[in-house]
Structure 1
């Protein structure tokens, strides 16, 4: 009875009409508020990590982020399929609530905060609904640009949030930061509830749910349907695995082992976000001038360089250089999407993009855990003896995760050089119809 009442309540809440017609602008506000709230907690979370897991900080950081990422990968197709049945607004409301749910827990108990953060990945899969909402309100021609705007909004939320969170923490304490982050996330829930209109009309919704719709491995099983798509997916896996691991661990690594204070780290994160936005805005010009394949290889070379800098650098300026190169390397994944759009027919493009997205989701789960475990195995994890006065700086062993990640990216560069130039794809589209045929046979 309680379950029925809860379901009825959620459906009733989701039926609130919202403000205006469904638009990309609505979803950009949701994305900005969600990640701005979490951005405020960037610096407090590093301190809480060290306090909660003093002996194996980077290992536990990787495991927490890894569990959350893997759960998100497993549940994302189900959340997307449910949004096809019950509408985008209801599932957006649920995912925003569960994404923000762990935030107030930080003031109650750090250990439970990290536990709930990891398991919130089951229902905190906002982007699964966000991209479906964008697809509802845009044409095919507008969609790539709109997805780029969503990614840029995510980066924009990190421009001032970490620095602001650090300033508030210094002036008023960590509890005030958590309170403000909770208020921002609550405002996001209220915005979804009262301002976001439903984008999926009742008449076009699915009537049932099949296992195939909720299968997270379906897109990955289609990877071998075409040799070049297989090569591209291997490239994506080899560079996204270390990228996801690096993204989850670098702030804590710089603070706890390289002597960055919270102010320096906040400024670096902000600068990286601004640079990443700038380079992605110019991606169209880059691809136009050098081509999608060369843009992919350029991004991979930049990623390998910044991983090597993180691995061998022992001075702050080297870490700054690595951060700047990392921001420039953010063109790689969008360039892959551009290449796929040139490679495949319109009818099969969504499925191939789904394969790439599935590989991305898998890496977002495995990467943080991979880095955390390698930090631990290479004796580079944080411990009370090694963290005092930043003793890992200077004459230290090379951090295994970064160097191993650079090797992964080097392999991906070699493989990427084997995929055809996009100019050679003209006139060969018929050869790639096998992708569409295999997908249709699989669906039937």
Structure 2
């Protein structure tokens, strides 16, 4: 009888802790600039809120365009050369880029800096692949939930801190973001081990797989994943209604400044953290991935509808818990997709999913921000400032219908043979339960054409 895998080493515990901290600090650095970036754009162009919304959509589009192009590149590079190098280079590049944006006196240089941020932030796909490397299949939903909690923790502190710092100087949050990214690089340089051994890496770097459209072909090779990936795309597309209009919408409708925006986004992060770190872990053994998805999506629809139609700020705030409970759908959907894909293609899968999220980001800011600008203008067919959130609710309603179809056609997945001890516990511990996969045979390390 095969022996159980050895317990997680201290290096593996530190590895998971680093990935958790990396995602948290990257999100913290990103969140710090959210309350001030649109206002910095307003200062640089000297324009109105409606004009700033159009420029903000352009900034959001270029950011996500870079992620769309470079997420599969980073995912494929990590499959070939390992995860550690890719993650560290991205953290360092992000820190330098925030310094450039802190110093820029012109709009075009800020625009270039935003593009570079998109390239460096593409490492989130590599971080997810790292998790798929070290966590057994049956515990990945909880693991991705912990990653969601890292996002949420960064989002709790980031916008609130950014709003506070922006009160003193609109550029100060960029300097703090730069420091956080560089500290993260130094931490990872000394702590992070490699998760992908040489025998499990692809033999060569293939540009057919590294380009975003080639990466998406991977999803077509797994039909059972393709429909879930479409749900993933719609969820991300709806989320850009928040990214592209939240700051200017709340300023226009409720008169909120950077501080209030930062504090309310911190509340969003706090609620999301509770959902991702606590509820996902507790409900997963009881409901399973499929029911979790079908529970989360309708709750998120309700949250967006409250956002879109609330005429006063206290009603708007009531939508935050519903919106955050929608986070129950994300980790199980991502876990189901990783269970359907070969171990040596996890980097490509995460790169493809990041490309889908980035593709949503290319179109989302343009659509939502311009709709917002149109529906608050003198030429609006109807005065509906919350139009972006109403559209997001419609998109997620479609996602719920598609998810039900996708779940019915999933192939059954058995527990990974490399982790028989996982059956002893139904909960995921981000430190103690991390176990390595068994090496796959050498002839499986080639990428499929």
TM-score, length-scaled by structure 2 = 0.76
Residues 228-237 or 117-126, more deviating: 228-237
| Structure 2 runs not aligned, ≥5 long | 1-9, 415-444
Match of 1:44 among 22, 32, 36: 36
Is the contact between residue 238 and residue 395 of structure 2 (CA under 8 Å) also seen in structure 1?
A: yes
What are the residue-to-residue correspondences of 1:406-417 with 2, within 5 Å? 406-417=393-404
Q: Aligned ranges for residues 9-28 of structure 1 at < 5 Å?
A: 23-28=15-20
Is 1:96 the counterpart of 2:96? The answer is no
Deviates more, 1:114-123 or 1:286-295: 286-295
Match of 2:279 among 254, 278, 282: 282
Matches within 5 A, 1:144-293: 144-170=141-167, 172-201=168-197, 205-221=201-217, 223=219, 229-280=225-276, 281-293=278-290
Does structure 2 retain, via aligned residues, the 8 Å contact 1:380–1:399?
A: no
CA distance in 1, matches of 2:350, 2:73: 18
| Cα distance, 1:145–1:26 mapped onto 2, change above 3 Å | same
- How many residue pairs end up in the alignment? 403
Is this contact kept in 1: 2:142–2:280, CA < 8 A? no
TM-aligned CA distance change 1:34 to 1:323, over 3 Å: same
Q: Is the 8 A contact 2:202 2:344 kept in 1?
A: no
Aligned to 1:434: none
What's the counterpart of residue 104 of structure 2? Answer: 108
Please report how far the alpha carbon of residue 320 of structure 1 lies from its aligned counterpart in structure 2 after TM superposition: 0.7
Moved more, 59-68 or 397-406: 397-406
Root-mean-square deviation (CA, aligned residues, Å) is 3.7
CA pair 227-403 structure 1, distance change in 2 beyond 3 A: same
Residue 89 (structure 2) pairs with residue 77 (structure 1): no
- In the superposition, relative to structure 1, how do residues 219 and 174 fare at CA in structure 2: closer, same or farther (>3 Å)? closer
Instruction: Kindly state the Cα deviation for residue 284 of structure 1 after the two structures are TM-superposed.
Output: 4.2
User: 348-357 vs 63-72, which deviates more?
Assistant: 348-357
Q: How does 1:312-323 map to 2 (within 5 A)?
A: 312-323=309-320
Secondary structure in structure 2 of the residue aligned to 1:28: helix
Change (3 A) 1:29 1:379: same
Instruction: Kindly state the Cα deviation for residue 158 of structure 1 after the two structures are TM-superposed.
Output: 1.7
- Alignment partner of 1:174: what SS? coil
Q: Give the structure 2 partner of residue 122 of structure 1.
A: 119
Answer yes or no: is the 8 Å Cα contact 1:302–1:325 preserved in 2. yes
The yes-or-no answer on 1:403 pairing with 2:398 is: no
Structure 1 stretches lacking a partner, 5+ long? 1-18, 387-391, 429-439
Q: 1:304 to 1:371 in 2, by over 3 A?
A: same
Residues 63-93 of structure 1 deviation map (CA, whole Å, 9 limit, x = unaligned): 2112211221211111122233444332222
Contact 2:163 2:260 in 1 (8 A): no
Aligned partners of 1:137 and 1:199 also within 8 Å: yes
The answer to whether the 8 Å contact 2:251/2:257 transfers is yes
Query: Aligned pair in 2 of structure 1 residues 396, 318: CA closer, same or farther (>3 Å)?
Result: farther
